[in-house]
Amino acid sequence: MYDAIVKELTEKNKQYKLLKKPLNRENLIKVIEMGPRVLFLNCHGERSNDPRRKDSYFCFESVSKPGMLEEFSEQNLFDILKNIDCKIKLVVISACHSSNLGKKLAEAGIPVVVCINISVGVLEQAAYAFNRLFLFSLLMGKKPYEAFERGVANVSSANEINCTVCCCSHTHARDCLWSKYKERHGQDKAHLLHEVTCNCFKTAGNK
């Protein structure tokens, strides 16, 4: 992805400054202090193993132990973005289970936030397909919502991606009848309940 972005920027004669560093606390702060308008975070995200908690953590590299994992909480990431005087207008969190953080950032004033629903994981191929066209569309001058739609369409058209997630996998209330039906009968049968009105890629038979 990095090489593809550099190639696209160079071919379009765009002025840019790219910093390729391991994703850890120190490097993240350095990048934000550089004053970027767009922040793209690409890492693994996991749900907390504590059933009493509903938050997620992101897989950063430890500063004190290079090469080792640091479970970087969404609150830590939020605090960094909140406390630094940043000029960020668009945040992309390409990490599974990141929508809680995305909601907090949007509420804190970030105009555009792209993230992944906290209730689902996403295949790496799907994330790559989305990110590639989303970022390239921005470089072409498309508005964020247009770039987002192009990225989603790119995932939908990639038949080699065997994905079980559809639009009905958003977060549901505890008493949601659809969610309870899904728990008993599985995702595919639950999807059939609204397939007539759904336009996601699962209706094309990619289940």
- pLDDT tens, residue by residue, 32-41: 888 888 888 8
Under 8 Å between Cβ of 168 and 188: no
The predicted structure's pLDDT at residue 204: 43
Residue tagged 């970027």 (tokens): 36
Q: What is the Rg, in whole angstroms, of the alpha carbon atoms belonging to the chain?
A: 18
Residues lower than pLDDT 70 in the chain: 1, 50-54, 120-121, 158-172, 187-189, 191-207
Per the CB < 8 A criterion, the answer to whether 54 and 2 are in contact is: no
**Of 96, 84, 100, which Cα lies nearest the Cα of 41?**
96
**Residue 147 half-sphere exposure, CB side, CA atoms within 13 Å?**
19
CB 78 within 8 A of CB 108: yes
Per residue in 133-147, is it b (16+ CB within 10 Å) or e — as a string?
A: bbbbbbeeebebeeb
- Digit-coded pLDDT (tens) for 74-124: 888 888 877 777 788 899 988 888 888 888 888 888 899 998 887 766 777
DSSP state of 195: G
